[in-house]
Amino acid sequence: MTRPAPWNLSHPPTLWLDFETGQGVDDDGRSIRPILGGRRQRPALLDLLETAAHHGATRLMLSGKFPSTSANRPHWLLVPVEGWEPAGMGHYIKDDRPPTGRFWRPTDRAHVEVRVCREWFGTDDIAPAVAREAMQLVQQVLGKSLPGSLGKSPAAAGQSIWAYSLPGERKRDGQVVQEAFDPVLIDPDISELIHRTSGQHRTEHLVEGRSRCDCGDCVPLVPAREEIPGFCYIDGRFMYSALCREIGVGARMLTRDEAQARTEDPYAKGRYRVRFTVPDHWDTIGILGVLREDAGHWHWPNRPGATYETWVDSVELAVAREWWQPDSYEVLEGIAFEKGRPLDNFASRMLAARKRAGELDADVHLIEAVEQALRAILLQTIGAFHSLGRDRTMTVTSPLDVPPEYQGSMRTYGDVTTYLVPAEPTERMLAFHHPEYSSQIWARERARILLAPTAQFNDRGRPSRRWGALEADPSTLLGINGDALYLTAIPPAALPVAAGGGDDGREGRLRVKGWIPGPMTPPPTTEARNTLRAKAEALGVPESAVASSGARSSSEVDHG
Amino acid sequence: MADQPTAQELILAIRAKGVPMKLLAEECERHPSLLYQVAAGKRPGRNLLPALLDIARTGSVQHRPERRTGKDGKPVKVRGKRGQPSRPPKASVPAARTRGKFSRTTALLAGGGRVRRVTAPKSGRVGRFDAQEATMCAIAEAARERRRVSFVVHFADDSTVSLGSKGGYRGNAVYTRAMGEWENAFEWLSEEVEAVDYRSDRDLETTITGVDITIFGEPDPGQEVPEDLHADPTLWVWGADDE
């Protein structure tokens, strides 16, 4: 079976409740009060489960303030709930990720799944009634893209949207005018190779200090103690949706000669194992990422003369090809992808849904919640292509009962110990397992932050249609985080077209989201940078900064 | 009390799960030879019962076995090393972790693994230094035994981050990298958390207030013991500074 089948689920009767008060609404918006047991003033998890069962709900969507988790105190999902037991697949609890609890009551076989609104809306700080309304609006804006229920998680919703979006066979007058598109499942060995050798987002701190990679080949670009004129936060707009076009499908291994020949074709999609050397003239951020085996994470060496071997996508190699000399890299082998459009329909449907969300006649915060949910669907669906299913959280009362092979994932919450058991891939899951898609999308994101298409703008007297980190003055680059870029100056390319910039409002454009005027010291760590990012986003882009972006061209420079 | 297992039965049951006698003895704060004698039925080991019951149920000790006291009410001296006179026993290490202070506890795992748990005060140079040193000791232990290691890092804001939950790190690699951070395990952990949990909006001032270090897996002959640990068996030893 290669054609994935969408989940065919009916909507689970749901209660939307505040975790602390237990108050909320049901699917029809009717007010719900918790059924409190004993002499409790505030509901315990048991009360919430009993309330759900009483109202015939099979799902609890919780929001509000949750108790913090620590090794000394039981996780709020692992407290004793008399009469209820973990059901089916068991719970999913991992660090600070949105947890899932699955319970059933043997006496009447009632099942309740406990989920948190944060999984969809990115925050716990959302009122139950708002969350319910937002979820209904998500369903509404997705429209025909997703008939039936949204599913249990954003990834499940996205997988169903993708499965529905795959072109089926079309006939006219009994003649087949369009063949059905069934995604090709690639060889498991190649799939494993791609999975093992492809990274996700580029995250790099470029300021001298402890957050800068300590390999010796990652040279900091901004000195720690030198004042900077300000902090500019740039982010890609709904970036993933712009990266899903014409993703390569299938996969076959290439010999060294075949791979070298294929790199000559600028439109050929593939992954290549290359040996590269950073050119002597290079003075800005690195282009090709390398997995640091000793540290277990990726880095982007930029020290002239540094030599590494790594796997890169054709789009990343194309950037290196443009900015470095041809002898800076050597192709050693490759994987060829064929032309395809497996995600085009999916992306355009997600975009249409986002457009409809923007046109909703609703409160701003409600629209923001809907957009956040659509973003979660998009991101988690791409991530799910790389995964073979969710781990299952097992609970035991003694660490001595944890099987040795799972001891690495152990966690202790008060008297309960948990460990994770990797999911056993089923045939159905395998139909959704396409690391070749996710690896291409992530590579495109990394390439876009280096150099992205823009609307036409005036670049130092010349019309230009692209801009990215490679175009910026290296001394203004503070860091990269996925599709976000942090600079010490506002680049014109990331301003709206009306202000002379290259942001025409289309998805995938890099645009300024906030600016903190300086002078200030550069953020020494990624945590400090994240704090500045939040502050910059809250401040936005003041008119004066847009108007005074005459100094902007100082942030741009040529490299060799 | 007829159903209560004996110390001998408990030791044999715990050992059957692959727990080394050395670790079991360490948790009971007794010499392994004593536990071997109890396991062989040569001594009753009644005073070990509460601790052994704790370990059998939860993997860790909640009550350290009490020391026999003399007529003066002081603990009876224990045998010294060969050629040395008897000495008072070491002071007992608190069995429970104490949040907000430096503490060091252990949970035993099947197959010879263990979780070394360290808590640190938010501020206070001495307590934090002790916690960093204890964390380095646990990392060195994994490197010495050529095992893998994973971490759960606890922060002052009550958030936690797991490191190495997908198979763990090689003990020697972590040891080398932590030594490279001025022998400061917390510094290395902070960097690692940044790299793994990059999307987090963790507050700038969040401080590591605890680490669970899980040492697990079969010893890997391909993992070399770092030279300094090989040369000096007394370097970075968990609990070596106990008085």
Q: Check CB contact under 8 Å for A407 and B111.
A: yes
Write the Ramachandran bin of A483: left for phi over 0, alpha for psi from -120 to 50, otherwise beta.
alpha
Please write the tens of the pLDDT for every residue from A14-38.
999 999 999 999 999 999 999 998 8
Note the pLDDT of residue A552.
42
The pLDDT score that the predictor gives to residue B202 is 59
Confidence check: pLDDT of A554 > 60? no
User: What ipTM was predicted for this assembly?
Assistant: 0.86
User: Which helix (H) or strand (E) covers residue A438, if one does?
Assistant: helix A435-450
Overall average pLDDT of the B69-94 stretch:
81
What end-to-end distance do the CA atoms of chain A give, in Å? 51
CA distance B240 to chain A (A): 25
Q: What is the pLDDT of residue B199?
A: 52
Considering only the beta carbons, identify the residue of B97, B108, B161 that sits closest to A95.
B161
Per-residue HEC secondary structure of A456-516 comes to EEEECCEEEEEECHHHECHHHEEEEECCEEEECCCCHHHCEHHHCCCECCCCCCEEEEEEE
- Residue B205 — very low, low, confident or very high, per pLDDT cuts 50/70/90? low
Query: For A110-135, how does the pLDDT look when each residue is reduced to its tens digit (9 = 90+)?
Result: 999 999 999 999 999 999 999 999 99
CB contact under 8 Å between B113 and A407, yes or no, is yes
Mean pLDDT across A142-164: 90
Q: Is the pLDDT of residue A353 over 80?
A: yes
β-strand A110-116 against A59-63: which pairing, if any?
parallel
| Residue predicted with more confidence, A353 or B199 | A353
The answer on pLDDT for B141 being more than 90 is: yes
Burial of residue A382 (CB within 10 Å: 0-12, 13-18, 19+) is buried
**pLDDT surpassing 90 at residue A425:** no
Contact present, A409 and B164 (Cβ < 8 Å): no
Predicted confidence at residue A551, as pLDDT, reads 40
Scanning A32-51 for CB atoms below 8 A from B yields: none
Q: Taking CB atoms and an 8 Å cutoff, what residues of chain A touch B171?
A: none
Q: How confident is the model at residue A500 (pLDDT cuts 50, 70, 90)?
A: confident
| Predicted confidence band of residue B197 (pLDDT cuts 50, 70, 90) | low
Q: Is the pLDDT of residue A161 over 70?
A: yes
pLDDT, residue B198, reads 55
Total length of chain A: 560
- pLDDT tens for residues A91-104? 999 877 899 999 99
What pLDDT score was predicted for residue A530? 87
pLDDT of residue A560: 39
Q: State which H helix or E strand residue A230 sits in.
A: strand A228-236
Range name among A63-72, B156-165, B174-183, B196-205 with the lowest pLDDT average: B196-205
Distance from CA of A213 to the nearest CA of B (A): 9
> Taking the alpha carbons of B51, B56, B57, B60 in that order, is the dihedral positive or negative?
positive
pLDDT value at position A557?
47
Instruction: Report the candidate in A98, A149, A142, A104 with the shortest Cα–Cα distance to residue A121.
Output: A98
pLDDT averaged over every residue in chain A: 90
- Residue B229 host element (H or E): helix B227-231
> CB-hemisphere CA count at 13 Å for B243?
0
Residue A148, both tokens: 């039936």
CB contact under 8 A, A400 and B110: yes
CA distance A166 to A155: 17
pLDDT digits (tens, 9 = 90+) for A356-380: 999 999 899 999 999 999 999 999 9
Contacts of residue B111 in chain A, CB cutoff 8 Å? 404, 407
Q: In this structure, how many other beta carbons lie within 10 angstroms of the beta carbon of residue A396?
A: 15
Residues 6+ apart with CB under 8 A from A469: A284, A285, A449, A450, A451, A477, A480, A485
The answer to whether residue A556 scores a pLDDT higher than 50 is no
Judged on CB neighbours under 10 Å (0-12, 13-18, 19+), A518 is middle
Smallest CA–CA distance, residue B142 to chain A, in Å, is: 13
